[in-house]
Amino acid sequence: MPADLNDWNNKNNNIKFEPPKFEPPKFLKSGGGVIIIALALIVLVIIFKPWVIINEGEVGILATTGKFSKNVLNPGMHFYMPLIQKVIIVDTKVHMISYKRRAEMGSMPDRYGTIKVYPAINVLDSRGLPITVELSMSYRLNPNEAAYTIKTYGLNWEDKIVNPIVRDVVRNVIGKFPAEELPSKRNKIATLIENQIRNQLDAIDHKPVIFESFQLRDIILPENIKEQIERVQIAKQEAEKAKYEVLQAKQEAQREAAIAQGKANAAKIEAQGKADAKLIEAKAQAKANELISKSLTRELLKLKQIEIQGKFNEALKSNPNIKIFLMPGGVVPNIWMNVNKDTQKVISSGKN
């Protein structure tokens, strides 16, 4: 080995290696480290966002390492630990499920996801004829059992609970009636469907769904059944019209008979009144005659005869041509006549 190389190695072996000293920046020495740590924490909070705000009409389900908490989070602000926990927000507002014909399926907006539209339900009546049913139903998630419902049925719980029950109930109810009776028993059928849906939802464990309302919108029958029903309805209307006309004619005849009977009764009453009036008049006249007869005594008649005889005597003095007639029969009136050239006067006395 060359002597110069040995000399170089000997020199280097005697040199001690010291690492360079690290000195922090000046802004860290003056409290800048605290600012950086604070900024880092703010960034982490913004990225992971360890809080959640739950609105009215919603509840939150807290899941810790995949396990759901039984108690739901009510509306308001709630904090949780990111990466370990998460909050699932579910809607508890009223939802609607509607079964419609395909021509109408796009007519109902679903802005908030609370309306589900399905094709109309095809069922068979009691004789196997195809029937199409349109209906709507309102319901909502039971907020107290939201965690159990989501854990058991998932977020698409409506398709697993509500839809199958509605279809099954409609098929069972419609299948008990012939197609011809469906229009006339529409209200009864709607009540049966509503009650059975309500009962089946209430019978589910933990009652995950709260029933709100039900509406049977339409029952679409086959064309031949519709024509048959129309013919029956027309026949019934004609029969009712004929029945009404007969009843109207009968009432008119009864009215005319009543009028005639009334007129006859009025005439009878009038005749009876006249007869009664004549009878009363006759009785009154007879009574008067009886009273007059009782009042005519012999002395009164004698006095009357003397008064009339005096009048005759006075008349004889001034009228010498008087003719006097005596009537037979006992007590008779005295009649005298005063005959002049132009006139003739007859005077009758009272009874003698």
pLDDT tens-digit profile of 189-212? 999 999 999 999 999 999 999 999
47, two tokens: 């990225």
Label residue 112 by pLDDT band (50, 70, 90). Answer: low
pLDDT tens-digit profile of 176-185? 999 888 988 9
Q: Which amino acid is at 61?
A: I
Residue 302 is predicted with a pLDDT of 75
Single out the residue of 8, 335, 337 nearest to residue 352, CA to CA. Answer: 335
| Span 26-49, average pLDDT | 64
> d(Cα 330, Cα 351) in Å, to the nearest integer?
10
DSSP sequence for 145-191: GHHHHHHHH-TTHHHHHHHHHHHHHHHHHHTTS-GGGTTTTHHHHHH
Q: Is the dihedral of CA 150, 151, 156, 160 positive or negative?
A: negative
Q: What angle do CA 262, 267, 269 make, to 5 degrees?
A: 90
Residue 61 CB neighbours (<10 A): 21
Sheet arrangement for strand 67-68:
67-68, 58-64, 85-91
Single out the residue of 67, 82, 212, 77 nearest to residue 147, CA to CA. Answer: 67
pLDDT tens-digit profile of 140-186? 999 999 999 999 999 999 999 999 999 999 999 999 999 888 988 99
Q: Comparing 17 with 79, which gets the higher pLDDT?
A: 79
Q: How much of the chain is in helix, strand and coil states, percent to nearest 5?
A: 50, 20, 25
Residue 339 is predicted with a pLDDT of 47
- Domain locations in the chain as residue ranges: 24-91, 95-221, 236-295, 298-348
pLDDT tens-digit profile of 265-313? 888 888 887 877 778 887 877 777 777 776 667 776 677 777 777 777 7
Is domain 95-221 given the CATH code 3.20.20.70 in the classification?
no
Residues, the chain: 352
36, two tokens: 């950086």
> Is residue 348's pLDDT more than 50?
no
Least confident of 84-98, 109-123, 138-152: 109-123
Q: How far is CA 352 from the centre of its chain?
A: 99
> d(Cα 346, Cα 340) in Å, to the nearest integer?
12
